C-alpha cells in the first residue's frame, strides 16, 4: 500500500544528471528533484516528528522534503522512483511505535543476582598467590 501524495503538495523540477552516460547526460535534464510540502500533507504530530528524524538532511527548515532521483535514463522513471521513495518514507513515519512498558526485577531475582556475584567473587579470591607460612 503506497501513500497517495496530493498533487498540490508536490513540486518537481528536472536537472541535468551526473556521472557516466555520454552526451545523453550533457543534453537531457533527466534527474528529478521532488519537493513535498510536509505541512500540506496534514500528518499527525507523531508521524511528522518521525518523518523529520527519518529524513534528516532531506528535510528543510521550511518543512519541505527534498528527494532527488537520478539513477535512470528517463524522466518518467526518475519521477516514479522519487515519488516511490517519498511515499515509502511517509509510510514508515506513519507506523506508530509500541510504547514500552517498564518492568522491574523481583526481590528474588535481585537476591539471585547478588548471590551469583558473591559466588564469582569467592572463586576469584581463591585464585590468589599461594602463601607458605
Nearest Cα neighbor of 30 from 20, 18, 42, 41 is: 18
**Domain-embedded: residue 129:** no
Phi, psi for 99 (deg, rounded to 5): -70, 135
**Domain-embedded: residue 57:** yes
What's 44's domain CATH number? 3.30.160.20
* pLDDT, tens only, 34-44: 999 988 888 89
* pLDDT, tens only, 35-81: 999 888 888 999 999 999 999 999 999 889 999 998 888 889 999 99
In sequence order, what DSSP letters do the residues of 3-47 get, joined into one string? ----GGGEEEEEE---SS-THHHHH---EEEEEEEHHHHT--HHH
**Domain-embedded: residue 86:** yes
**Domain-embedded: residue 48:** yes
**Domain-embedded: residue 21:** yes
**Domain-embedded: residue 69:** yes
Packing angle of the helix pair 45-55, 75-94 (nearest 10 deg): 130
Domain with 39, as residue range(s), is: 7-94
User: In the chain, how many domains are there?
Assistant: 1
Amino acid at each position: 500500500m503506497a501513500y497517495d501524495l496530493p498533487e498540490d503538495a508536490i513540486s518537481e523540477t528536472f536537472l541535468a544528471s551526473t556521472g557516466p552516460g555520454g552526451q545523453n547526460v550533457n543534453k537531457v535534464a533527466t534527474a528529478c528533484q521532488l519537493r513535498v510540502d510536509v505541512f500540506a500533507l496534514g500528518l499527525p504530530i507523531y508521524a511528522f516528528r518521525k518523518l523529520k528524524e527519518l529524513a534528516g538532511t532531506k528535510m528543510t527548515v521550511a518543512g519541505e522534503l527534498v528527494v532527488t532521483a537520478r539513477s535512470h535514463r528517463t524522466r518518467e522513471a526518475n519521477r516514479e522512483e522519487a515519488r516511490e521513495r517519498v511515499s515509502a518514507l511517509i509510510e514508515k513515519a506513519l507506523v506508530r511505535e509500541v510504547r514500552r512498558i517498564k518492568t522491574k526485577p523481583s526481590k528474588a531475582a535481585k537476591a539471585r543476582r547478588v548471590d551469583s556475584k558473591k559466588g564469582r567473587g569467592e572463586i576469584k579470591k581463591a585464585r590468589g598467590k599461594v602463601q607458605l607460612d
